[in-house]
Structure 1
Amino acid sequence: MSRILFRRALAALGAVPLTFGLCAAPAVAAPFVHPGVLVSKNQLDFVRDKVKTGAQPWKAASEQMLASPYASLSRQPKPRADVDCGSRSNPNNGCTDERQDAIAAYTDALAWYVTQDSRYAEKSVAIMDAWSATITEHTNSNAPLQTGWAGASWARAGELIKATYQKWPNEAKFAAMLRNVYLPTVAKGSNSNGNWELVMMEAAVGISVFLDDRASYDAAMTRYRDRAAAYVYLPSDGALPHTTASSGLKTKAQIVKYWQGQSTFTAGLAQETCRDFTHTGYGLASIADIAETSRIQGADLYSTDIGKRLQAGFEFQAKYELGARAPASLCGGKLNLGLGPVTEVAYNALHGRMGAAMPETGKLTDQDRPEGTNTLFVAWETLTHAGNPG
C-alpha cells in the first residue's frame, strides 16, 4: 500500500488528519463511548464485582438501593402529557411523578447490571416506554429546571439499558422523546441561579451521548465550562467572580446581589453558598457529573480549572457542613446547611484517582456513606463511584 493510501485508510478511521501539501482535513471526532453517561462499563463491572464479594461500602450501598421504593418491581409509572411545574412546586402537576419515575428507571437499570436480574431491566424499560409514549411538554415557570432534573436521570437510565440490555423495542421512541421534548429546552440554558443551568447542561450532555449527537454535546460542554467558572470562585478570577456573557451582570453591585449579597470572595465560595448549601450541592453535583461523563468520553476536565473549582468548592462547603463556625464575613455568619448526597463523584475523581488533598470532603463522605438520592437527580453515587478506579 502506498503511503498516501495508508494515510487515507488511517484518516477514515479517525486516527490521523488527511493532509495533502499545506491542506488538512479536520480531525474526525472519536465516536461516543457507551455506556458513557456518568458511569462506564469498567466502572459498572468494578461495582458488580465488589457487591458479589460483599465488600464495603458497595454492599451496603447496593442493599440501600434495592430496598428503596425506586427499585420496587411493582412500581407503576405515572406518565403525563403536560408536566406543569410552578415555582416552589406550586402547581405540581406530574413534576414529582416524573422526577421519581426517571430516578426509578435509572435505579432499575443499575439494579439490572449489578444483579443481572432481567426483571429490573424490564421494569426500567417499562417506565421509559410509558413516559416516551405520553409526554409532550413541560410548562410553567419551573419547566426548564424540571426538564433538566428529569432529563439528567432519563439519559443515564436510557444509556445504561441501551448499552447493556438487548431487548428494548421502543428505544427509538424514547430517543425521540429526549430529542424533541427535553433537548430543545435544556440546550438553551438559563440565567437563573447557577444550579439551574448546570443541571440543564448535565441533561443536555447526557442526552447528546445517548443520541450520538456531537454538535449538541460540544455546545453543551462549552456552555457548561463557562457556567462552572461562574459558579465557584477562585482567586485567579480576580477581585470579582467570573460572569457568563449572557448573564447581564456587569457591575460589582449586580454581581454581589447575584451572589446572595456576599461581597467577600474566598476560594471555594459558590454562587449559592449564602442561599443555602442544598442548592449549592445541586450545582456542585452537576459540575462533577458532567466532568465524569467527559472523562469517560475521553476529555479530562478534572485536570483543568474545573477540577480546581470542584476541589475548592467541596472543601469549602464540607468544612462548614462538618460544623466549623462561619465568620461574620461569610453570609453574615449564618449558614443554611444540608449539602446532600453529592460528594462521591468529585471526591473519587480528585482524591481517589489524582491524589488531590480533600480532607474535609473525605470526612463528610465517610460520615454520609452510603449516599442515597436527593430525589431530584442525584442517586446512588456511593455505589457507582466510591473508590472506583474507572
Structure 2
Amino acid sequence: MLRLHRPLLLILTMTLIAASVVLVAARPSEAMTKAPAAFKHPGVLVDKAQLDFARQQVLAGAQPQKAAYDAMKASSYAALSYTPKPRAIVECGSSSNPNNGCSDERDDALAAYTHALLWYITRDDRYAKKAIQIMDAWSAVLKDHTNSNAPLQTGWSGASFSRAGELIKYTYGGQWAQRGRFEKMLREVYLPEVRNGAGCKNGNWELIMTDAAIGIAVFLDDHAAFDKALSIWRGRLPGYVYESTDGAYPKAPSTCAKDTREEIVDYWQGQSTFSNGLAQETCRDFGHTGWGLTAATHVAETAYHQGVNLYAEAGKRLTDGYYFHTRLENGAAVPSNLCGGTVKKGLGAVTEVVYNHYHNRLGQQMPTTLAYTEAKRPAGANYFFAWETLTHANNPR
C-alpha cells in the first residue's frame, strides 16, 4: 500500500512545493513594480496596523510613543481652537520670499494631519471635525500656487494634506460633506504641479514633490499618478545618493540632462570626490539633504504599504545615505576631501521611518542611525513631516 502511494505522494509534495514557490514569488511587497489593482487604505505613509500599534502604545503609556503623543498634543498644531488661514493664490518665492500664504498653508496642512492622528488615537470626534474644517477651508478657496517656489510649496503642503485626507476618509465614520471638493483640489491644483518632477533643481525638490504625488495618488486611487511617482523616484534617487557601483561619478537624475563629469561636479555643489552615501546636497547643507532623504523614504514607505518594495530596489543606497550623514552628525571627523573639510550640520529628525524599515522589519543593524534617532526623539513637525516617533518608532507592522 505504502509503495503504491509513493509516486502519488511525491507528485502531491512537488505540487505543493511549486505552489508555495509561486505564492512566495508573487508576494506583492517583493514582486510588484507598479500600482496594485486596488489600493490599500489607509495607506499613505502609515497603515492601519501601524496606527493601531501606536494607539495601543499611547493608551498603555509605553515609550517612546507616549512622549511623542504628549509632544504632539502640546503643540500649537493640536489646539482645537486652531484657525486655518486659506487663500485663493499662494505665492512663494525663493526661500519663501515673498511669503503670501506659504507658511500658513504648510502649517494648516500639518495641523490637519495632526488632528487626524489625534482623532485616531483618542477617538474624539472633535479632532476629526477640526481636521475636516481645515481641509474644507482650503478646498473652498485655493486656486493656484505661484512664483518660483510653487512646485516645492505644493509638495510640502500636498504631502501633509494627502495624509490627513487619507486618515479621515478611511478611518472616520462621521460626515465629510465636502470631501469631493477636497479631492478635486488635490487632483486639479496640487497633482499637476508635482507629478512631473523638478528637472535640474536641487534633488530635495523633486523628492518632496514625489512624496506629495504618491500620497495624493493613493488617496485618489489614481493608478497612473502612482506609477508616474514611482518612475520619478526611480530616476531621481540614483541622482541624489551616490554608490560606487554608479561609476566614477554620480548619475544624473532622469529629469535632468546633465551628463558630463564637469556638469555633475557643479550640480553636486562642487564636490569632486565621491563615496557611498554622499548626497547631491551634502555640501550645500545637511538640512536640505535631510529633507531629500526623508522624502525619498516617505515615497518608499507609501509604496511599501501598496505592495511595491522600493526599499529593496534602493539596496544600500538609502541606508548608506543615512549612515554617511548621521555618522558626521554624531561627531565623526569631516574628511578634508569632503566639502573643503567643512559641512553645515542639521540633518533634522528624519530617521525614524528608514530605521524602522531596515532594522525593525528586516533586522539590519544600524547603530549609528539608531544613536542619532534616539537623540532626536520625540520627532516633531516641520514643513512636510510630522510625529514620526509616534507613528513609526519600533513599529515594523
TM-score, scaled relative to structure 1? 0.92
The alpha carbon displacement at 1:352 in A equals: 1.3
Q: Does 1:186 align with 2:194?
A: yes
Taking a change above 3 Å as real, the CA distance of residues 352 and 86 of structure 1, as seen in their structure-2 partners, is: same
Amino acid at match of 2:285: D
Q: Relative to 1, partners in 2 of residues 1:58 and 1:85: Cα closer, same or farther, differing over 3 Å?
A: same
Indicate which of 177, 181, 191 corresponds to 1:169.
177
Superposition map of 1:206-221 within 5 A = 206-221=215-230
Give the partner amino acid of 2:147.
N
Determine the C-alpha separation between the residues in 2 that align with 1:307 and 1:103.
31
Cα separation, 2, equivalents of 1:109 and 1:321: 33
Residues in 2 aligned to 1:265 and 1:173: alpha-carbon distance in whole angstroms: 48
- Would you say 1:104 and 2:111 are equivalent positions? yes
Q: CA deviation at 1:246?
A: 3.0
For 2:152 and 2:131, locate their aligned partners in 1 and report how far apart those are by CA, in whole Å: 23
Spell out the pairing of 1:25-40 with structure 2 (5 A cutoff): 29-40=36-47
Q: 1:29 to 1:377 in 2, by over 3 A?
A: closer
Between the aligned partners of 1:114 and 1:302, the Cα distance in structure 2 is 28
Match of 1:205 among 214, 217, 240: 214
Q: CA deviation at 1:354?
A: 0.7
Residue type matched to 1:174 in 2? F
Please state how far the C-alpha of 1:29 moved relative to its aligned partner. 4.1
**Structure 1 runs not aligned, ≥5 long:** 1-15, 17-26
5 Å matches for 1:1-390? Answer: 29-166=36-173, 167-191=175-199, 192-304=201-313, 306-374=314-382, 376-390=383-397
Distance in 2 between the 1:246 and 1:347 partners? 29
| SS of alignment partner, residue 384 of structure 1 | helix
AA aligned to 1:89 is S
Please list the CA deviations of residues 299-346 of structure 1 after superposition, one character each: whole Å capped at 9, or x if unmatched: 122222x24211000000000011111011000110100001100000
Identity of aligned residues (%): 58
How far is the alpha carbon of 1:68 from its aligned partner?
A: 0.3
Distance in 1 (alpha carbons) for counterparts of 2:99 and 2:255: 29
Indicate how the Cα distance of structure 1 residues 156 and 328 shifts in structure 2: closer, same or farther if over 3 A, else same: same
Alignment correspondent of 1:22? none
State the shift of 1:75 in Å: 0.6
Report if the CA contact (8 A) 1:302-1:308 is conserved.
no
CA distance in structure 2 between the partners assigned to 1:76 and 1:29 by the alignment:
38
CA distance in 2, matches of 1:28, 1:97: 33
Q: CA deviation at 1:244?
A: 2.1
Deviating more after overlay: 277-286 vs 28-37: 28-37
Question: Structure 1 residue 252: deviation in Å?
Answer: 0.6
> Residue 341 of structure 1 contacts residue 378 of structure 1 at CA under 8 Å; is this kept in 2?
no
Kept in 1, the 8 Å contact 2:36–2:306? The answer is no
Structure with more contact order per residue of length (Cα contacts < 8 Å, sep ≥ 6): 2
Q: CA deviation at 1:28?
A: 9.7
| Counterpart residue type for residue 325 of structure 1 | A
Q: Is the 8 A contact 1:315 1:359 kept in 2?
A: no
Deviation at 1:30, TM superposition (A): 2.1
Secondary structure of the structure 1 residue equivalent to 2:381:
coil
Distance 1:154 1:307, change over 3 A: farther
After the TM superposition, which segments of 4 or more aligned residues of structure 1 sit over 3 Å from their partners?
A: none
SS in 2 for 1:247: coil
Query: Could you state the TM-score of these two structures normalised by the residue count of structure 2?
Result: 0.90
Quick one: structure 1 residues 245 and 302, their matched pair in 2 at CA, closer, same or farther if it must change by over 3 Å? closer
Note if contact 2:287-2:345 (Cα within 8 Å) is conserved in structure 1: yes
1:221–1:28 CA distance, 2 compared to 1 (3 A): closer
Answer yes or no: is the 8 Å Cα contact 2:35–2:306 preserved in 1.
no
- 1:251 CA drift (Å): 1.0
Secondary structure of residue in 2 paired with 1:83: strand
Is the 1:73–1:120 Cα contact (8 Å) retained in structure 2?
Answer: yes
Letter in 1 for 2:379: E
